[in-house]
Amino acid sequence: MKSFVLFILCFNVWAGELRFTPPGMTQMKGPHQALWPEDQGNGLLMISINGTGAEPHGLVPFGETVIKMGYHKLGIDYPNGVIPTKCKHSTNPLCYDHYQRELVLGDQVSYEVNIKPTDAVLPRLLVALKFLVQKDPIRWGRFWKNDQPVWSKIVLYGHSQGACHAAYLSKLVSVHGVFLTGGPFAYMPEFGYAVWPSQTSATDASRYLALLHKTDYFDVREHIGVMKLLIGEARFAEQVVVAQRPERDGHNAIIIDPHYAGVWESFLASFSNMR
């Protein structure tokens, strides 16, 4: 598939938008999306990892809120066609661990997904951010140093499947913050929880925030269980919001309905205030 770069100038909450697929990279669902505020912002970059089948440029109300709160934002296009719940009834107790490792790092260890190492979340993230830095070093250069992201200035966001990837990556690199919605998934009725949520984390437990919904059709009890493994039960009430508002689709309403903008803003402000 041919690579392309598309500039879109927006006269909305954000000052600019760029949808792009770097040269040599295959587009999966749609181009990466970069958004930025009018000024230099708050000095933080949100890297957004979307859910199963979704394109990076969706979630418009949420994206507007992110930019309004002073963040730069990079939405990552990646192969998200295999839903993580495919592992739920697997006979392999390491199914979720291998699924995460292959999709985030590119190590070819999973029977559920089969992707090129260069198409995993982290390799594609690195290529996309480096592309932005080379194209506009004044705006994006602060997020890149010594040929690597400046993880201390990055907030990882993920919804649904993306929540799994954001949480998994945050175990490996020390990021400024982690914002999760509608996930993560890591429970198998036959074997219990996957290994990865309990592993030592490079990111401190105090830097995870999550918005879940009581009526999530994937069963919020799994998301709650994984969050308690990630941050510890004592932190749960302070760092996780479980919405109770009646919804036809609790799984997605929490990230597409502006009714939840107050929670988004509260979380984003919390990250801004972290040192």
* 145-180 residue pLDDT tens: 999 999 999 999 999 999 999 999 999 999 999 999
Backbone angles phi and psi of 273, in degrees to 5 = -85, -10
For the chain, list the domains and their CATH numbers.
Answer: 4-273 (3.40.50.1820)
Identify whether the C-beta of residue 200 lies closer than 8 Å to the C-beta of residue 105: no
**In angstroms, what CA-CA distances link 142 with 70, 128, 146?**
15, 15, 11
Give residue 109's pLDDT: 98
CA dist 122 and 124 (Å) reads 5
- Name the burial class of residue 207, with classes exposed (0-12), middle (13-18) and buried (19+) by CB atoms within 10 angstroms of its CB: buried
Q: Is the CB of residue 209 less than 8 Å from the CB of residue 178?
A: yes
Mapped onto helix, strand or coil, the DSSP state of residue 31 is coil
CA 164 to mean position of chain CA atoms = 8
Per-residue model confidence as pLDDT tens for the chain (275 residues)? 333 344 333 335 557 999 999 999 999 999 999 999 988 899 999 999 999 999 999 888 999 999 999 999 999 999 999 999 999 999 999 999 999 999 999 999 999 999 999 999 999 999 999 999 999 999 999 999 999 999 999 999 999 999 999 999 999 999 999 999 999 999 999 999 999 999 999 999 999 999 999 999 999 999 999 999 999 999 999 999 999 999 999 999 999 999 999 999 999 999 999 98
Give the list of residues 6+ apart from residue 222 with CB closer than 8 angstroms, or none: 185, 186, 187
Report the 10 Å Cβ neighbour count for 261. 14
φ, ψ dihedrals at 35, nearest 5°: -125, 150
- Range list of H helices, 213-260: 220-231, 236-239, 250-256
Question: What would the DSSP string read from start to end of 175-195?
Answer: -SEEEEES----EETTTEE-S
What is the residue type of 195?
Answer: V
pTM: 0.94
